[in-house]
Amino acid sequence: MPEVTPSPALIPAPTWECHLHLTNNPRAPRIARRTIRTALLDYNYSLELADTAELLTSELVSNSVKHSDGPVAVRLRTRAGVVRIGVMDDHPELPAPLSCTPDEDFGRGLYLVEALADSWGRYPLPNRSRTPGWKVVWFELAADRE
């Protein structure tokens, strides 16, 4: 009888996940920052990784609060040495980093994500999803950051 081997998973199963659903209000970035930081430190990730994830999450949630009218969702997921955080909102436009100067007070969010994340991206949610017209902006950090 031939030996049966399971097909490899395309995406490794997550070690753990955290989902956060927030109303669109000015407190949302602070709540998201604290939640992400607490979760990562409780799972023994490095302080540097927690600091970076906290900053980038705050930037993305702040963008969502500013540019969308509805709720904001944050998903933290770990897998195969990677921490991935995605922020979802109902504003359909896919953002791009703005060029900014050192004396500007705004426009640095995606610039920071691009500079500090190991990878990042954005995509619209398909019309067949439960949230058509929404988008996700995500970033990944290597879990072994020291």
Three-state SS annotation for 80-116: CCEEEEEEEECCCCCCCCCCCCCCCCCCCHHHHHHHH
Tokens in use for 124?
């619209």
Distance CA 20, CA 35 (A): 8
pLDDT band at 80; cut points 50, 70, 90: confident
pLDDT band at 110; cut points 50, 70, 90: confident
Q: Which amino acid, residue 123?
A: Y
More confident residue, 146 or 76: 76
Spatial neighbors of 130 by CB under 8 A, at least 6 apart, are none
Tokens in use for 59?
């930037």
pLDDT band at 79; cut points 50, 70, 90: confident
Tokens in use for 64?
């969502």
**∠ CA 34-39-41, rounded to 5°:** 95
Give the CATH class of 25-142: alpha beta
Tokens 């900053």 appear where? Answer: 55
What are the extents of the domains in the chain? 25-142
Output the pLDDT for position 25: 95
pLDDT tens profile 119-141: 999 998 876 666 667 899 999 99
Distance CA 42, CA 19 (A): 16
